[in-house]
């Protein structure tokens, strides 16, 4: 639904997120995307961002940046050890494991 509404305005929107930015974000997020997807996401992300840009109309001169959405501060605990999971429980949901380790494809630096 949202996609359709945004798409209908597509022609009038400015591309604030270009295709290279999309490709870079995909790379950083380890996502594989095709050129046509990159083009599509560029338009969609630009539309979303442009929509949110409406907030820039507000004067926020004297407003402190929101660092946390709840009025909480100094939530601290004492330095006490609590029981951990057993090794078996920790690895229970791992699709690949060996000798108590999580086994993952080697990442070459």
Partner 1 sequence: MTEYEIVIGLEVHAQVLTDSKVFCGCSTEFGASPNEHTCPICLGLPGTLPVLNKKTVEYTIKTGLAMNCDIAEFSKFDRKNYFYPDLPKAYQISQYDMPLCKNGYIEFWVNGEKKRVGINRIHLEEDAGKLVHAGSIAESQYSFADYNRSGIALMEIVSEPDIHSPEEARLYLNELKKILEYLEVSDCNMEEGSLRCDANISLRPVGTVTFGTKAEVKNLNSFRAVQRALEFEAERQADLLREGGKVIQETRHWDESKGITIPLRSKEEAHDYRYFPESDVPPLVIKDSWVDEIKRGLPELPAVKRARFVNEYGIPEQDVEVLTETKAMADFFEECVKDYNEPKTVSNWLIGEFLRLLNAEGIEIKESKVTSRHLAGMLKLIKDGTISGKIAKTVFEEIFKTGKTAEIVVKEKGLVQITDEDAINDVVDKVISENPGAVEDLKAGKNKAIGFLVGQVMKETRGRANPQLVNEILRKRLL
Instruction: Kindly list the residues in this chain that would bind partner 1 in the complex (CB under 8 A).
Output: 24, 27-30, 67-70, 72-87, 90-91, 98-109
Whichever of 55 and 75 has its CB closer to partner 1, that residue is 75
Tell me how far apart the alpha carbons of residues 16 and 84 are, in angstroms, rounded to a whole number: 47
- Closest distance of CB 77 from partner 1, Å: 5
Tell me how far apart the alpha carbons of residues 93 and 38 are, in angstroms, rounded to a whole number: 33
Whichever of 27 and 51 has its CB closer to partner 1, that residue is 27
Whichever of 55 and 85 has its CB closer to partner 1, that residue is 85
- C-alpha dist (Å) from residue 22 to 5, 37, 42: 22, 9, 6
Tell me how far apart the alpha carbons of residues 15 and 106 are, in angstroms, rounded to a whole number: 38
């Amino acid at each position: 639904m949202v996609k359709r509404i945004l798409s209908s305005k597509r022609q009038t929107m400015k591309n604030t997120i270009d295709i290279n930015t999309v490709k870079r974000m995909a790379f950083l997020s380890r996502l594989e995307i095709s050129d046509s997807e990159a083009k599509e996401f560029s338009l969609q992300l630009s539309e979303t961002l442009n929509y949110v840009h409406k907030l820039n109309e507000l004067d926020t001169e004297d407003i402190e940046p929101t660092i946390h959405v709840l009025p909480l501060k100094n939530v601290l605990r004492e330095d006490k050890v609590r029981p951990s999971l057993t090794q078996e429980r920790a690895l229970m949901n791992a699709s690949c494991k060996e000798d108590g380790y999580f086994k993952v494809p080697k990442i070459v630096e």
